[in-house]
Amino acid sequence: MGVLRFVAKRIGLYFAVLFIGLTITFMLPRLMPINPVDGYIGQIQSRANGALSFEAIEELRVNLEQLYGLKGDLFSQYLGYMKRVLVDFDFGPSFTYFPQPVSQMIANALPWTLGLLLTTTLLAWALGNLVGLIAGYFHKQKAASILEFVGILLYPIPYYIIAITALLLFAYVFPIFPLSATFPVGQLTFEKAGLILYNSLLPAIALVVAGFGWNILSMKALAVATSEEPYVTYARLKGASNWTRMTRYVFRNALLPQVTALALSLGMVFNGALLTEIIFSYPGLGLIMRSAASSGDYNVLYGAITISIVAAATAGLIIDLIYPLLDPRIRHA
């Protein structure tokens, strides 16, 4: 019963997060000073050299508001938006790239963002915890102090500093990687896959290094505290090896808070998309969101932010559902 209650509570929280997030997503673009319909009409008017009549402009405005779900009062727009997003998963066409559907734009960009950011987040978490575990368990040795120093050195450096430094060092001073990456389009081949992997290595290295320091320091602190627990001392007195004590006693108990930290990191995985994709010219949701915000493209903003919210909430839910497998206190509560 304890596990069922835990799962039901987490699923209810998941849907509450989705509802609040989608509601905020609906409201935010309407607080922007840019009216996308007026901007689109202005573009058409300039192309026609001001030849459109007032009646034609008003008719065009009505059609555009209907097309983009902006017709009616705010509440009716909200109901229509929730129906389109939750039932039809339809964000309509893009203002800027009309008539291209927003869902198609997201489908093209999402694999790039997830492929890079999700992989680097998991890799930084795994490597950081491994190094932190070793540094924490053998904290009285000199090598552990060196590993801790690496974490202290990396943790406070902002990501954009690491990214720009990596770009200057490995693409300009030592031209191992290109300054502006080129990603091939069309059918995927082994040659194209190799080129994509090569052009993705530099942003991946920067992302792993940026997330590496915190995982080292947090796991080291947990490992030091856990290694002093009575059950670890009891295992040592029974003759358990260092490897057994480190992996079965210290690591398994110190891992639980780190799993929570992983859920938070996965929830913020799209936060790094914008900066990463701008600095490294990497295609993905970040570039789409930047162009949509500058042009007032409501539908693209809706789509990109909604996907971010759903992905973050789902990642957190999956981690929460895995938690009872890691923590017997939840299973037997």
- Closest C-alpha to 185, from 176, 177, 175, 195: 195
Residue 49 confidence (pLDDT): 64
Close Cβ partners of 54 (under 8 Å, ≥ 6 residues apart):
none
- Closest C-alpha to 78, from 18, 16, 30, 140: 30
Q: Indicate the pTM of the whole model.
A: 0.73
Residue 148 confidence (pLDDT): 77
Domain 105-297 class, CATH top level: mainly alpha
pLDDT along the chain (333 residues), means of 10: 73 85 76 64 64 65 64 76 76 72 80 80 86 84 79 79 83 77 66 74 82 83 84 81 83 81 72 73 77 73 80 79 68 54
CB 284 within 8 A of CB 181: no
How far is 265 from 118, CA to CA, in rounded Å? Answer: 9
Burial of 158 (C-beta count, 10 Å sphere; 0-12/13-18/19+): exposed
Residue 168 confidence (pLDDT): 83
> What is the total residue count of the chain?
333
Residue 328 confidence (pLDDT): 63
